[in-house]
Amino acid sequence: MLKTRAIVSAIALAGSISVASAWDALPTKAPAPANNPTTAEKVELGRILYHDPRLSSTGTVSCASCHNTMLGGEDNRPNSMGVHGQTGGRSAPTVWNAAFNEVQFWDGRAASLEAQAAGPVTNPIEMGMKSWDDVVARLEKIEGYPALFNAAFGNDAISEDKATKAIAAYERTLITPNSPYDKYAKGDKKALTAQQIRGLNKAVEIGCVNCHSGPAFNGPGTFQKFPVIDNAYLEKQYSLSADKGLYEVTGKSGDENKFKVPTLRNVALTAPYFHNGSVSSLEKAVKIMAKVQLGKKLSKADTEDIVAFLNALTGEFPKQTMPTLPGTPGSSFEYK
């Protein structure tokens, strides 16, 4: 992981190629757990399940509905829309590079991609299925799925465990390396513009990397309180502290308003910002973060420099193709 001490040392060497060597580029492959090794067959099954709206009660919402891999890995909405037009209270986090998160969801309630994949399907606001037993029963009636499960797992029995493992395997392929920043980190001192380098240095100087460190700029997996500093004016505008975050999962004193530190990778593509999607532009988000997390008031020039650097975190997206879903010839389901 990228250490703050190493970053500060690098800044002292500004203008030298050794600056880049102190920074970590994004890995091109995500580690998989021992009980879910990545295979091409499993990834293909996961890609199909990820895009299949029949995993929702109404047949209208898929994983891709809120986490669109044709865009920035989310839906660019303040609050994602689930079955029957319902919306929750949080903005969908990006699925790109989610494999490098230590925990999943804004409140970190899932410890793995596999656990995360299970949640939305039975959430009454999101995909609305009553249970995973109902999901499995539906998949069993779709011609083609047993063969896909057999290819992926050597057994055509369909289960929640296999389905979520396949979706997680697919999500581990959603990595966006080779951003201008990555090229800079690997030694290409011309990969960033002068403004982007100023923004990088300013982000280090004011303390952004205390939380947004490491190759994915999402920290070492710890939670962070947000906001740290009360600001009545900003609170009235953006309701930053209304959501209690981790506390809503644990009920423990001290967990109020703690959230998973989100990745800054591709952040220029994922507006609106924050857990509640309340901020429409990256420039505003940078200014607000500086105020409520670091107690800093940024100048217009410093803000523009940091935004320029954040744009340099947009990587190369692996080509995605829409899958052909297994059909149900001559019949359909009764959706509710």
> Which residues are identified as catalytic?
126
Cα 46 from Cα 162, distance rounded (Å): 9
Long-range contacts of 238-245 (CB under 8 A, 24+ apart): 238/274, 238/276, 238/278, 238/279, 238/288, 239/276, 239/278, 240/274, 240/276, 240/278, 240/288, 240/292, 242/276, 243/89, 243/90, 243/275, 243/276, 245/106, 245/107, 245/275
178 contact partners, CB below 8 Å, separation of at least 6? 315, 316
Cα 278 from Cα 242, distance rounded (Å): 12
Contact between 255 and 247 under an 8 Å Cβ cutoff? The reply is: yes
Contact between 22 and 9 under an 8 Å Cβ cutoff? The reply is: yes
Contact between 241 and 227 under an 8 Å Cβ cutoff? The reply is: yes
Contact between 73 and 67 under an 8 Å Cβ cutoff? The reply is: yes
Q: What is the DSSP letter of 262?
A: P
Closest CA to 83 of 130, 117, 126: 126
Sign of CA dihedral 42, 43, 46, 52: negative
